[in-house]
Amino acid sequence: MDWVGFQNALFNVFALFGGFGMFLYGMHIMADGLQKTAGNKMKNLLGALTNNRFVGVIVGALVTAIVQSSSASTVMVIGFVNAGLMNLVQATGVIMGANIGTTITSWIVSSGEWMVFFKPEKIAPLIMGIGASILFFSKDKKKQQIGEILVGFSLIFIGLELMKSGITPYKDSQVFKDAFIVLGKNPILAVFAGAVVTAIIQSSSASVGILQTLAATGIIPFSAALYIVLGQNIGTTVTAMLSSIGASKTAKRAAYVHLLFNVFGTVLFTVGTFVYFEFFDMNHGHAIITMTQISIFHTFFNVTNTALLLPFANQLAALAEKIVPGVDRQVEGEEELTLRHLDDRILETPTFAVENAIKEVARMGELAVENTRLAVEALIEKDNKKIAEVISNEKKINKLEKLITDYLIKISNSVLNEHQNLVITNLFHSVNDIERVGDHAENIAELAKYYVDNELKFSEEAEEEFKVISKLALDTIRLAVEARRDDNADLVKKVESNEEEMDVMEEHLRGQHIKRLGKNLCDSSTGVVFLDSISNLERITDHALNLAYYVKDEII
């Protein structure tokens, strides 16, 4: 090979790898833009998850179409299962749907063959220009998200064209032809090749795109392409299997359901395809396949495989339970000290991570509400057991504060739209306010301990007043936590009203108790406990109001 030939070969390699990089990056950018734009629609999909496996399939397909990766959506499902938000039956339907959703990318890639008037690869530079202009010159966040989608879309086709230009000079190479002839005659080898490439790239969408690019040069026979596509469906399970390491047994079972589903389908279709090409239409197997035909087969396989195996979802789940036997061990108290709704795998889909972060913050809030109730009852009932329970719960609240804050930092580093960034910022503040509610509940418990140890006693009037003000405080913080959990504007208004009432009541009761002290109706030690307790209750409602204001800010 002369110097010119070496240069050309080197430039072709550059074009191939550069194009592949642009293709992957384009998919990433477009998926990020789609997720930001989807926003609340993704939230609604999460709410649609039920034990109905057909609904699960639809949810899985839609989510995967948005995130542009069945691996990402399956890993997310494992995260949901590990966090206890989804059972194995729900996960099975979503996983099956994810395989259908991943076919969208192959149709995008092959669109240049069947779009007559506006071939994407020809107008990709124009789309890039429009998208980039929107990103740089528009201040509207929604328009910028559309700009991201356009830039990602154009990068996909620019990358495909570069890959094609790097491969085209070798389309007549005998080495390539012989390699694909061997793969076409050896289904096991072709399936293995497809699985290995997909496992390395960790994206069946990307590996199908590469295969379609090769097909565009006219060098891949039908049989080899079909076997490779089938192998790619096994390779895509590697990401989920790796993700399940260290997860709960149920989450591991979800990963095995994904593996079993794809392996059963691949084996069934490989045998059927081999029999057809060998005994019914051998010439068809040697014919050159097109990009669109790969998309058709990819879709046909995933839709048919889902239709065939969906009725056996329970059996797949049962088989996964046999592969991963036993139950998860639960250390006493562990549930309260760990994140129930959050898992790092859910970060694959930031929209879902945000929604589950809200649930986890609300759960922390519910624990603070419970601790406030226990502290009040401990003081009224002189109950040392409840005092100890408050102290124990406060440690759990502090632990949750750290865990949730660390997770919120991870979410904030994800790709979020403007509203989601606002929610995460408010959740940081909410966690701090809830922790302060826990501190005030602990203060009341410590006052209760002093009250019990010194054998103090409120007057009947003081005790009734304390019961009234504590009920108002409890109702207010409970409503604030519910408002945070449900984004409920009506509850926000109720919290505002209650907090105003609390300010008036606390000032009035303080005055009343000072009068009792002046008349020697109660001693100074009891007075300190009473006044400090209602002061802590008033501070609790202040933090409740903060929680409500964060929700109000997001709703507006």
Question: Which pLDDT band, with edges at 50, 70 and 90, does 332 fall under?
Answer: very low
The region that residue 510 occupies, defined by phi over 0 for left and psi between -120 and 50 for alpha, beta otherwise, is alpha
Q: Are residues 227 and 187 in contact, defined by beta-carbon separation less than 8 angstroms?
A: yes
User: Cα 487 to the chain's mean position, in Å?
Assistant: 19
Q: Are residues 240 and 74 in contact, defined by beta-carbon separation less than 8 angstroms?
A: yes
Which of 125, 159, 50, 146 minimizes the C-alpha distance to 94? Answer: 50
pLDDT in tens, 66-117: 776 777 778 778 877 776 667 787 788 888 888 888 888 788 878 766 665 5
Question: How large a percentage of the chain has pLDDT more than 70?
Answer: 86
For residues 278 and 50, the model is more confident at: 278
Does pLDDT of 375 surpass 50?
yes
Per-residue confidence (pLDDT) for residue 280, from 0 to 100: 79
Question: Which pLDDT band, with edges at 50, 70 and 90, does 333 fall under?
Answer: very low
Q: Which domains does the chain have, with CATH numbers?
A: 3-323 (no CATH), 349-555 (1.20.58.220)
C-alpha–C-alpha distance, residues 204 and 243, integer Å: 16
pLDDT in tens, 178-206: 676 777 778 888 888 888 888 887 777 77
pLDDT in tens, 538-556: 999 999 999 999 998 887 5
Q: Are residues 15 and 54 in contact, defined by beta-carbon separation less than 8 angstroms?
A: no
pLDDT (mean) for 229-243: 85
Tokens 């409890």 sit on residue: 474
Q: Are residues 56 and 22 in contact, defined by beta-carbon separation less than 8 angstroms?
A: no
Per-residue confidence (pLDDT) for residue 137, from 0 to 100: 84
Which of 357, 360, 334 minimizes the C-alpha distance to 347? Answer: 357
**Token code pair at residue 312:** 């056996």
For residues 49 and 17, the model is more confident at: 17
pLDDT in tens, 136-182: 888 877 788 788 888 887 887 787 777 777 766 655 566 656 676 77
- C-alpha distance from residue 46 to each of 7, 143, 220, 310 (Å): 52, 25, 41, 20
Question: Which pLDDT band, with edges at 50, 70 and 90, does 318 fall under?
Answer: confident
pLDDT in tens, 395-436: 999 999 999 999 999 988 887 878 888 999 999 999 999 999
Q: Are residues 241 and 191 in contact, defined by beta-carbon separation less than 8 angstroms?
A: no
CA dihedral 347, 352, 354, 359 (to 10 degrees): -120
Per-residue confidence (pLDDT) for residue 44, from 0 to 100: 62
**Token code pair at residue 221:** 């026979």
Per-residue confidence (pLDDT) for residue 420, from 0 to 100: 85
Highest mean pLDDT among 36-45, 84-93, 247-256: 247-256
